[in-house]
Amino acid sequence: MEDFSALRGIDAVLDTISNDYGPRSLPTLKPGGILVDVVGVGVDRTEVTARAAELGVRFVEFFLEPTPAVLASFAELLDAHGIRPTISRTLPLTEAAKAHELSETGRVQGKIVLVP
């Protein structure tokens, strides 16, 4: 289980894992910060919303159906606001097993990109 206790003053958390990761990250947010849950499973919405309000932060759920049109619109929105993912490693698709091994170490900061 990851320990988030050393993190503070974060503007936003994008929870792509769910379970208890989002709720455990609430204290890391600075006042006015936001937790965005894009998975929507494994949390009690009412409880997380109440806890967020106690801490002076927001909790929202964000879902989109990954159709080509929706993804293109989402990409345009991200580009317009200069939001870029952090890429840790780029590997050829033939090294997918290595990518999994790296990911499972829990030490990768950013995304591992597989290139066909």
The residue among 38, 58, 36, 40 whose CA lies nearest residue 49 is 58
Which H or E run includes 4?
none
Report phi then psi at 12, rounded to 5: -150, 145
> Which pLDDT score, from 0 to 100, does residue 41 have?
64
Between the ranges 33-42, 47-56, 58-67, where is the mean pLDDT highest? Answer: 47-56
Considering the domain 1-84 in this protein, what is its CATH number? 3.40.50.720
- Find all residues with CB under 8 Å of 81, minimum gap 6, and list them: none
Average pLDDT over residues 85-92: 92
Sign of CA dihedral 71, 76, 81, 83: positive
Residue span(s) of the chain under CATH 3.40.50.720 come to 1-84
Tokens of 13: 């958390």
Structure-token match 């989402």, residue found: 74
pTM of the prediction? Answer: 0.58
